[in-house]
Structure 1
Amino acid sequence: MKLLIRNLDRATTEDELRTLFEGYGVVQSCTIVQDPATKGSKGFGFVEMPKIGDAKAATINLNSHTLGANKIRVKKADDKVESKEKPSE
C-alpha cells in the first residue's frame, strides 16, 4: 500500500522517514519529493509498504506524529488516473 506523508519538516531525510515506518513493518520504498530547482524537500513524500495491515497500522499510529518540528499527516495515496480524453461538453 502506498502512503502519502504530508507536512514533513524540510530537514527530514528519507532514512529518518524509512526508520519511522519500519517500526510498523517492511518498507518497500521511501521517497521525499524534491524541488528540481533547489533540490530541497517540498515537504511531502511517499512510503510504500507491501503488507496492507502494516500500512494501516502505520497510518493510524503515525498520523499527527511529530517528526522534526512538524506534525506529519499520513494517509493512503490516491492512485493517479491520467486520461488523455477531454470531458465531453
Structure 2
Amino acid sequence: MKLLVRNLPRTMSEFQLREMFQAHGSFQYCKLVIDEITGESKGFGFVEMLVEEEALAAIAAEDGKKIGKEKIRVKVAE
C-alpha cells in the first residue's frame, strides 16, 4: 500500500523517513521528494508498505504526529 506523507520538515532526510515507517513493519521503498533546483526537500514523500494492515497501523500512529513545529499528515496515496 502506497502512502503519502505531507508536512515533513524540510530538514528531514530520506533515512529519517525510512526509520519512522520501519517501526511499523516491512516496506518496499520510501522516497522523499526533492526540489531539482535547490536540492532541498519539498516537505513530502511516499512510502510503500508491503502489508496493508501494517500500512493502516502506520497511518493511525503517524498521522497528526508533531515533528518540529508542524503536524505531519499520512494517508493512502491515490
TM-score tier after normalising by the smaller chain length: over 0.9
Task: Tell me, yes or no, if the aligned pair for 1:2 and 1:46 is still in contact at 8 Å.
Answer: yes
Structure 2 equivalent of residue 82 of structure 1: none
Task: In structure 2, list runs of 5 or more residues that go unmatched.
Answer: none
Structure 2 equivalent of residue 19 of structure 1: 19
Q: Could you tell me the TM-score, scaled by structure 1's length?
A: 0.83
Q: CA RMSD in A?
A: 0.9
Structure 2 equivalent of residue 3 of structure 1: 3
Point out which structure has higher relative CO (alpha carbons under 8 A, 6+ apart). 2
Task: Tell me, yes or no, if the aligned pair for 1:12 and 1:68 is still in contact at 8 Å.
Answer: no
> SS at the partner of 1:45?
strand
Structure 2 equivalent of residue 55 of structure 1: 55
| 1:26-45 correspondence to structure 2 within 5 Å | 26-45=26-45
Q: Could you tell me the TM-score, scaled by structure 2's length?
A: 0.94
Task: Tell me, yes or no, if the aligned pair for 1:11 and 1:68 is still in contact at 8 Å.
Answer: no
Structure 2 equivalent of residue 84 of structure 1: none
Identity of aligned residues (%): 47
Deviation sequence 1:1-24 (CA, Å, 0-9, x none): 000000000000111111111111
Q: Which has the higher strand share?
A: 2
Task: In structure 1, list runs of 5 or more residues that go unmatched.
Answer: 79-89
> SS at the partner of 2:42?
strand
